Amino acid sequence: MTDLTTLSSINHADSSPATSAKTLFGFWIYLMTDCILFATFFATYAVLHNSTYGGPSAGQLFSPTFALIETLILLTSSFTCGLVMLAAHRQEKNKALSYLSLTFLLGLSFLTLEIMEFNYLIQEGNSWQKSAFLSAYFTLVSTHGLHILAGLLWIGVLGMQILSRGLSANTLRRLACFSMFWHFLDIIWIFIFTFVYLMGAH
């Protein structure tokens, strides 16, 4: 009986508002460190984007139209991610799972297009090693892609938790952290789209 009482107290403490606030604050700190990482890669790209060593430039390689399709897909996934949170706070489990699945499919579609773009560039002989410009490009964009992949794995874990545990306070806190992460990746991609694809096309 004592063990059950202790376990109940621990679970209550884990789901308390104070614990939730600390978790979200800690996750904000993580996102700030990620901002520094991406800022470093953006700065590197800014310095090296003209270092083509006789190879093709951004304007010759990248299609703003293709990147726009990727952008629209990711923006839509950010919208569905917001719908996940709305449904979760209303305790609408099935809706939350449906929107979470849709977010996963959109994220997977984005990542597939990104891999297709990389594959096309490499097949055309424009690989990582061709120039400093391409090294900076692949580093920046692939780092974002790896974050998207991590987000997709996170969605899978969250989906299983919702199915097994429902929309508990702990699950809502984890969903909130994921939502922050996914919107953050959306913002980073908008900078990539503007800085690399739009400005690079001119």
108 located within any domain: yes
> Region 161-179: what's the mean pLDDT?
94
- Which amino acid is present at 194? T
pLDDT at 18: 59
Domain that holds residue 179: 25-34+61-198
CATH of the domain at 66: 1.20.120.80
- Tens-place pLDDT, residues 21-54: 788 888 899 999 999 999 999 999 999 988 988 8
138 located within any domain: yes
107 located within any domain: yes
Instruction: Tell me the C-alpha distance between 139 and 92, whole Å.
Output: 40
In the chain, the percentage of residues whose pLDDT exceeds 70 is 89
What the block records as the tokens of 180 is 């922050």
92 located within any domain: yes
Helical residues (DSSP H) of 90-131, grouped into ranges: 93-123
178 located within any domain: yes
Instruction: Tell me the C-alpha distance between 62 and 77, whole Å.
Output: 23
- Tens-place pLDDT, residues 88-123: 999 999 999 999 999 999 999 999 999 999 999 999
- Tens-place pLDDT, residues 52-96: 888 888 888 998 999 999 999 999 999 999 999 999 999 999 999
Q: Number of folded domains in the chain?
A: 1
- What's the pTM? 0.87
